[in-house]
Structure 1
Amino acid sequence: MAARPEPMTPTGGRLAIIAGGGRLPHHVAEAAREAGEDPFIIPLTGEADGDWTGFDHEPLFVGDFAGVTRAFRARGVDRVVLSGGVRRRPDWRGIRPTIPFLFRMPRVVSTLLKGGDDTVLKMVIDLIESAGARVVGVQDILPSLLAETGPIGAVSPDDAALADIRAASEAATALGRLDIGQGAIAVGGRVVALEGPEGTDAMLARVAGLKAEGRISARRRGVLVKLCKPQQDVRADLPSVGPATIENAHAAGLAGVVVEAGRALVLDRRAVIGTADRLGLFLAGIERETMA
């Protein structure tokens, strides 16, 4: 069974959280504060939402590496968490580089134009660490968010769902290896949707539409599976599921949602479990090896 790591203990330096959209950055910030940290927040302009009053924060644009480096040095930052969704990758023409960064610009531009999401994230991590700070995972700050192995809630998958889990797991693994997405949906043992840049919720909406049109069997329910990409750096962009994911899976007529145990985040756990139980869906964590 996948074990949860122990929370990271504070160091002599300061923790920074680069915050995208959604509630996850707020969960991480509160958990860091409870652990004795005084986190500094960089809400990404045009991406981050919510109110950061009460936290030391400075909004910056995606790609403003000069501003990020300056802010880190001014506040003694030695660790960084990348948290929350980013809908748009930086436009290379809007990047504000530092002098050392200029030597990396050709590779950066090539990655932004041609690389998949995982490739871009690895580049961002490398650039942040070149500024003297160490990137750590959300799970290092808030290990209680990690999915465990087995059912998470009152409902368990039946035999039909297990066949869909196997099919969707195989597809999600292949998709991740190509650095395209993390999720796949199988209905009746057949893969019917793969996650692309549009994200999980849009994929679920697409399946709901296909079922309404009769292009996918409405009698068979189906399963959404979200797995880490095999080559993924787990310090960024772990698969996640929240209450909206469960609601959208229900709207798509699915029987449940599966995520990778120990390498996926369950956000607002109480609300997620309550929503899944109320709608009769299962939520479960699996270990990739068991699906091979």
Structure 2
Amino acid sequence: MNKLGLIAGNGRFPFLLLEAARAHGLNVVVAAIKEETDPEMNARAEADAGVRVYWMSLGELSKLIETFQREGVTRAVMAGQVKHKQIFSSIRPDWRLAKLLLNLRTRNTDMLLGAVAKVLGDEGIELISSTAYLEPLLAQAGVLTARRPTEDEAKDIAYGRMVAKAIAGYDLGQTVVIAAQACVAVEAMEGTDATIARAGALLQAQGDVGDTTLARSLTVVKVAKPNQDMRFDVPVVGAPTIATMRGAGATCLCIEAGRTLLFDREAMVRAADEAGIAIVAE
């Protein structure tokens, strides 16, 4: 039976991909990252003989390669977020990864993961698209919720997409938060949810000091990179995104159609409708 290697980060993404791969009849060899992967992965392996889990630290590239080669894995996929600050501050590289890092022109996520993908390929392990087996979860163009964006939110979306595409092109982040066509927050290493929460705090601070300059609702815009490599860092949203938006006072979410994965779509849309949040894919 064919095998698939799964390099698992945090969140539900690895579990969804695991389930989809098993549904396609594949045995799955999971490289679980100690700093990121949910321990539930062990229970998943115990319940399914077609799943094997090996735990390793983020910097153990040699162990990853040796594990996949020993298991006969020739195709692998990355699924789940690895926090950017983990990659660039907490990592303890082995000799192979240390050599790779020394040869990087710039230390951004795309450059690093692209180099890792090349090393894997040189060792006979092809890294495939992280949307493999999950294409039905990609957002289709249109309004997903009962409420459409208002005229003001539509203006914020147009401005936000322009800004988000620009920063994504520099691999700085994929999300911006807009209010009254002003950029309130830009994602960097902290991740989407932290960016939204920070925008909410900034807007609250404006109100606390009596400054109504940004006394408007927040619109969240999340995009793929202009040359998005679908093997890693694909935009993902789900019900937790809506919960964070609700807490921050955000009323509208715009995502990129065809290049954003929707997790637990029904729960996400239901939560958005209950909160009066509009979601649109463009």
Q: Decide: shared fold, TM above 0.5.
A: yes
For the structure 1 residues 227 and 216, does the alpha-carbon distance in structure 2 shift closer, same or farther, using more than 3 Å as the test? farther
Q: Normalised by the size of structure 2, how large is the TM-score? A: 0.89
2:93 aligns with one of 87, 92, 95 = 95
Identity of aligned residues (%): 29
* Structure-2 residue corresponding to 1:283: 279
| 1:120 corresponds to | 112
Corresponding residue for residue 36 of structure 1: 25
- The alpha carbon displacement at 1:174 in A equals 0.7
Partner of 1:111: 104
Q: Is the alpha carbon distance of 1:90 and 1:179 closer, same or farther for their aligned partners in structure 2, counting shifts above 3 Å?
A: closer
The alpha-carbon deviation at position 91 of structure 1 amounts to 6.5
1:192 matched to 2:190? The reply is no
210-219 or 117-126, which deviates more: 210-219
Q: Distance in 1 between matches of 2:274 and 2:163?
A: 29
Aligned residue identity for 1:43: A
- Matched residue type, 1:111: L
| Alpha-carbon separation, structure 1, partners of 2:177 and 2:88 | 29
- Runs of 5+ consecutive residues of structure 2 not aligned to the other structure: 46-50
- 2:239 and 2:138 mapped to 1: Cα distance? 15
Q: 2:199 aligns with which of 207, 217, 220?
A: 207
Distance 1:91 1:207 in 2: 24
1:266: which partner in 2? 262
**Mapped partners of 1:182, 1:119: distance in 2:** 16
**Alignment of structure 1 residues 67-106 onto 2, 5 Å:** 67-87=63-83, 88-89=86-87, 94-97=92-95, 101=96, 105=99
2:3 is matched with which residue? 14
Counterparts of residues 163-182 of structure 1 (less than 5 Å): 163-182=155-174
Distance 1:285 1:117, change over 3 A: same
Q: How far apart are the structure 1 equivalents of 2:147 and 2:4?
A: 38
SS of the counterpart of 1:57?
Answer: strand
Question: Which amino acid is the alignment partner of residue 65 of structure 1?
Answer: L
> CA RMSD, aligned part only?
2.1
Q: 2:62 aligns with which of 66, 90, 103?
A: 66
Cα deviation, residue 50, structure 1: 3.6
Q: Does the CA-based 8 Å contact 2:168-2:226 persist in structure 1? A: yes
Q: Deviations over 1:65-113 (max 9, x none)?
A: 221111111211111110111121166983234xxx58x81x522539x
Asked if structure 2 preserves the Cα contact closer than 8 Å seen for 1:62 and 1:90, the reply is no
| Counterparts of 1:283 and 1:76, CA distance in 2 | 43
Q: State the TM-score, normalized to the length of structure 1.
A: 0.86
Deviation of 1:121 after TM superposition, in Å, equals 1.8
Structure-2 residue corresponding to 1:47: 36
Counterpart-to-counterpart distance in 2, 1:91 and 1:195: 18
1:228-279: CA deviation from partner (whole Å, max 9, x where unpaired): 1113312101111111111111222222111111111111112111111111
- Equivalent residue pairs, number: 269
Give the whole-Å Cα distance in 1 for the aligned partners of 2:27 and 2:36. Answer: 23
Aligned counterparts of 2:70 and 2:131: Cα–Cα separation in 1: 26
User: Partners in 2 of 1:132 and 1:17 — Cα distance?
Assistant: 15
Residue matched to 1:131 = 123
String of CA shifts for 1:165-224, please: whole Å, max 9, x gaps: 011101101101111111111111222211110111111111111111126656421311
Letter in 2 for 1:192: V
Deviations 1:21-56 (A, max 9, x none): 111100110111111111111110111114122231
Could you tell me which runs of 5 or more consecutive residues in structure 1 were left unpaired when the two chains were aligned: 1-11, 287-292
The 3 A distance-change label for structure 1 pair 213 and 85 is same
Q: One-letter code of the match for 1:124? A: V
Higher alpha-carbon deviation: 46-55 or 196-205: 46-55
Contact 1:150 1:285 in 2 (8 A): yes
Q: CA–CA distance in 2 between the matches of 1:216 and 1:78?
A: 57
Report the equivalent of 1:9: none
Q: Tell me if 1:144 matches 2:136.
A: yes
